[in-house]
């Protein structure tokens, strides 16, 4: 078969299993496995494919995506975030557009932090992106998972070597104070984790998803301890679930934070809470 026929074959296979963007995902997998750029493909769609090993890899990846529901990003090993390409694997959450909104809203406040701490850093996408975009003097990302930190460190080395990554249970191994503390902690209720789509439930790390019984466990811990690690006037910012805005805002106000605000994502859902010490 030629290139176009192989992509159509992949699209049909994915469509049968209910993959939403079957056409696009089939193309990305074909491109990855056969080493064909978009330009080369468009100018040579009728060219016969003779790379046997590439085709075998393509069919294996299609199988993993269609039958096992392995996320495309894990198959490709990368995900775009804030204009940068981040390495990802099943040890870290896949960076999402909602988190881009969080960063954009934080930057839109006009804050110019010299020091940034990213708790629950995962792939390091928040810490690395803020370091590249805001150019602080110091930027640290922490995570309790050493395997997640391996990914974060690889991303830091590739994109922004100045970012430091520390294995820590929230603030446990953190020293010093910061102008901005930001976090996308686990915030899904334990009982709801079982209801997630299979791409998330069966492949992304539950350690980064499960926010305990009511989904607010990590917000409570961070909000309680954050004042000791914030400079006067420093900002604490969270990504939140769509129904957690008022609860997190209330906790921050009770802890003495001021100018606490809830901001929405592109879908009009509560996505960010931030306030100042």
Annotated binding site: 143, 184-187
Q: In the chain, what is the greatest distance between 2 CA atoms, to the nearest angstrom?
A: 67
DSSP secondary structure string, 40-96?
HHHH-TTSBP--HHHHHHHHHHHHHHHTS---HHHHHTEEEETTEEEE--TTSPPP-
CB hemisphere CA count around 166 (13 angstroms)? 16
**How many Cβ atoms from other residues are within 10 Å of residue 248's Cβ?**
25
3-state class (DSSP) for residue 76: helix
- Between strands 178-183 and 115-119, the pairing is parallel
Spatial CA neighbour of 125 closest among 147, 92, 173, 166: 92
3-state class (DSSP) for residue 77: coil
Binding residues for substrate: 184-187
Binding residues for S-adenosyl-L-methionine: 143, 184
Retrieve residue 149's tokens. Answer: 């930190």
Q: Which helix (H) or strand (E) holds 149?
A: helix 146-159
Q: Which helix (H) or strand (E) holds 127?
A: helix 125-134
Partners of 87 in beta bridges: 78
Residue 9: which residues within 8 A CB-CB, separation 6 or more?
A: 1, 26
- Between strands 138-143 and 115-119, the pairing is parallel
């Amino acid at each position: 078969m030629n290139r176009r026929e192989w992509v159509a074959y992949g699209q049909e296979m994915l469509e049968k299993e209910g993959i939403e963007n079957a056409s696009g995902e089939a193309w990305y997998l074909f491109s990855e496995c056969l080493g064909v750029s978009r330009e080369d493909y468009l100018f040579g769609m009728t060219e016969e494919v003779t790379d046997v090993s590439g085709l075998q890899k393509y069919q294996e990846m299609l199988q993993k995506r269609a039958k096992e529901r392995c996320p495309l990003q894990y198959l490709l090993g990368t995900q775009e975030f804030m204009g940068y390409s981040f390495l990802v694997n099943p040890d870290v959450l896949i960076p999402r557009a909602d988190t881009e909104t969080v960063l954009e809203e934080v930057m839109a406040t006009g804050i110019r932090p010299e020091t940034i701490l990213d708790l629950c850093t995962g792939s390091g996408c928040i810490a690395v992106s803020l370091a590249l975009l805001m150019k602080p003097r110091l930027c640290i990302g922490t995570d309790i998972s050493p395997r997640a930190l391996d990914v974060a460190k690889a991303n830091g080395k590739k994109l922004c070597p100045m970012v430091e990554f520390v294995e820590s249970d929230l603030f446990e191994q953190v020293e010093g104070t910061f102008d901005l503390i930001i976090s996308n902690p686990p915030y899904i209720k334990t009982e709801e984790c079982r209801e997630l789509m299979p791409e998330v439930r069966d492949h992304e790390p539950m350690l980064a998803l499960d926010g305990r019984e009511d989904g607010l466990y990590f917000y409570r811990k961070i909000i309680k301890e954050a004042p000791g690690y914030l400079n006067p006037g420093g900002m604490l910012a969270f990504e939140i679930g769509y129904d957690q805005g008022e609860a997190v805002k209330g906790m921050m106000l009770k802890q003495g934070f001021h100018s606490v605000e809830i901001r929405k994502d592109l879908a009009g859902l509560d996505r960010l809470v931030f306030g100042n010490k």
